[in-house]
Structure 1
Amino acid sequence: MTATRRFQAKDGAWLVYRDEGSGPPVLALAGLTRDGRDFDYLARRLSGIRLIRLDSRGRGGSDWTGSETYSVAQEAQDALTLLDHLGIPRAAIIGSSRGGLLGMVMAATAPDRVAGLCLNDVGPVLEREGLARIGRYIGEKPAVDSLEEIADRMPLVMPGFGEVPELRWVEETLRHYVETPQGIDLPYDPALRQSFDAAMAKPLGDAWPLFDACKALPMALIHGANSDVLSTATADAMQARRPDMIRVELADRGHIPFLDEPAALAAIESWLRLCFPDGDGKPRETEPRSDPDA
């Protein structure tokens, strides 16, 4: 298991990340309630890159900083701060769900820091029905006694998935929940529910300008064919604006694909070759800030 490290965000919060491998840097940003472990499956299959995985504030091992700080803008700034901490001037970004939104914001606000963007089942238009489904379980502790019971129910929690081995649902359970002496708990701050509800109470903003800001970047889209968050119509519109975008639609996958599906891996590898055609993007030799707990 890859050891976690910490860095300090600009507001003083300590955030956790994983840093493994060598080669061009790839920053992996997870979904709303998920953390860097979400990319374990991908990490097993990719080589020749430096994979950096961030636990956004309030998730995984990172500090809980309150619902008012759980915003796309803040989390995108945290990701840039992590690159600064590591002395990385430019990285390719793989963003799953909310992580893809962070990547689009980074491309729009700091284009010189982004070598390319791979979106995992996310785009500039998100379906309210799928978001509402996610909202029903955010911050809710399951009323069961064991992780085994949750694993049995995972296919219901993640609709649209087929041909998934039982062991994979067990692995997913360990990423979504933790077992404590007091019972089953969540690996994230329940206050994420408040920030999510506040965002859902407003009209969804127009994110097409963020997508269009990526026009100079190599792009890839991994789309679950059964996703209730990213529609095929939106994926088609994205492709129309970016005919050169690498795109794969995965059968038997909903929101979000695991990224170790053969077609997903092939797309990611092709995208990485476009991001780093000359093997550039390697980090500068700088000394990151010390971690007092290291």
Structure 2
Amino acid sequence: MHFRSRDGLRLAYDVAGSGPPLLCLAGLTRNMDDFEPVIEHFADRARIIRLDSRGRGGSDHDPDFMNYSLLCEGRDVLDLLDHLGLAKVAILGTSRGGLIAMTLAVGHKQRLTGVCLNDIGPMIDPAGLGYIMSYLGKRPGYADFDDAADQLVTKMARRFPGVSRETWRTYATRLWDEAPDGLALRYDPNLRHAVAEASATDAMPDLWPLFDALDGLPLAVIRGVNSDILSAETLHEMQRRRPDMIAAEVPDRGHVPFLDEPESLAALSAFLDRLPCGSH
């Protein structure tokens, strides 16, 4: 399914299940397929809405890469809610999707019923950003999904030890497309320019006010123990500020957990329990 953003882009979304609406927002280079485990486990408890942000997955690429911003992508979320006739929604945000959720809490908190953050918080480890820039906008260099699965088992072993080849192959099919000359990106490579422009200054913006804006909303966070984006210290400070927050740490996972782990599923289940039943 598709809808039009206020500036005319055709954006892809999907709806499955029934219950209180849960909007799933993927990470910087990712797409709605990352949330297949959420549909598998929770479609009987929530109306699961998945959005491909502009420039990702099945959504149009933006001719102006500067529109790949948290504010613009947040407006796309509001446009989708209006398209669906939803006054309020809970958000499950992976990485950048969580940053969009926190941004919305500042100016449009009345549209939110709760937020679950997947491996993201108000402080981002510079080492993780450096790793992202090492591959952002570049084709992965794998011949096909099987080649990717074979190599990822070894390449990702430090942050994701023990993950099976089958799981990595599934991951590859969600993230890339097969092309005659090897795996291709499922996102606009100009995202690299947008991120580079946004981080051109050395100073990282203070995101704690965005986190604090979630006050009063049901809140959960899932962290990969080996994450290079969300540190244990940042998680502890989040817990200090929000002692009521559901928090789960997933062993043998880096950035980001796949959301099919027992710890992730338990946190999501507890989060859904806290959402108001009527969110329309």
TM-aligned CA deviation for residue 182 of structure 1: 4.1
Taking the aligned partners of 1:241 and 1:27, their CA distance within structure 2 comes to 25
Deviation at residue 183 of structure 1 after TM alignment: 3.2
AA matched with 1:101: L
Other structure's SS at 2:247 match: strand
Partner of 2:180: 181
Distance in 1 (CA, whole Å) between partners of 2:52 and 2:157 is: 21
SS at match of 1:243: coil
Q: Distance in 2 between matches of 1:165 and 1:8?
A: 39
Aligned partner (choices 82, 85, 88) of residue 83 of structure 2? 85
Query: 1:28–1:51: 8 Å Cα contact kept in structure 2?
Result: yes
Indicate how the Cα distance of structure 1 residues 122 and 220 shifts in structure 2: closer, same or farther if over 3 A, else same.
Answer: same
Q: Structure 2: any 5+ residue segments left out of the alignment?
A: none
The AA in structure 2 aligned to 1:148 is D
Aligned twin of 2:161: 162
Distance 1:76 1:248 in 2: 26
What residue is the counterpart of 1:51 in the other structure?
A: 48
Unaligned runs of 5+ residues in structure 1 are: 284-294
Which residue of structure 2 lines up, in the alignment, with residue 290 of structure 1? none
Describe the SS at the equivalent of 2:234.
Answer: helix
Q: CA deviation at 1:143?
A: 2.8
1:190 matched residue in structure 2 = 189
TM-score normalized by the length of structure 2: 0.95
Question: How far apart are residue 200 of structure 1 and its match?
Answer: 2.3
SS at structure 2 position matched to 1:136: helix
AA paired with 2:215?
A: K
Does the 8 Å CA contact 2:143/2:181 hold for their aligned counterparts? no
Structure 1 contact 154–173 (Cα < 8 Å) conserved: no
Structure 2 Cα separation of the partners of residues 217 and 108 of structure 1: 12
Sequence identity percentage: 45
Q: Give yes or no for contact 2:17–2:39 (8 Å, CA) kept in 1.
A: no
Q: Aligned residues, how many?
A: 276
How big is each residue's C-alpha offset from its partner over 1:134-190, in whole Å with a ceiling of 9 and x where there is no partner? 111011113332222111222425851123222110000111211123432100000
TM-superposed CA distance for 1:223, in Å, is 0.6
Distance 1:167-1:144 versus aligned 2 partners, 3 A rule: closer
Cross-structure match for 1:201: 200
- Aligned match of 1:111 in 100, 109, 113? 109
Do the aligned residues in 2 keep the contact of 1:158 with 1:254 (CA within 8 Å)? no
User: Which one-letter code corresponds to 1:43 in the other structure?
Assistant: I
Deviates more, 1:163-172 or 1:116-125: 163-172
* 1:269 shift after superposition: 1.1
Q: Secondary structure at the match of 2:75?
A: helix
TM-score (normalizing by structure 1): 0.91
Which secondary structure does the structure 1 equivalent of 2:135 belong to? coil
What residue identity is the alignment partner of 2:53?
S
User: For residues 30-54 of structure 1, what are the alpha-carbon distances to aligned partners after superposition, in whole Å with 9 as ceiling and x for unaligned?
Assistant: 0000011110122111122100000
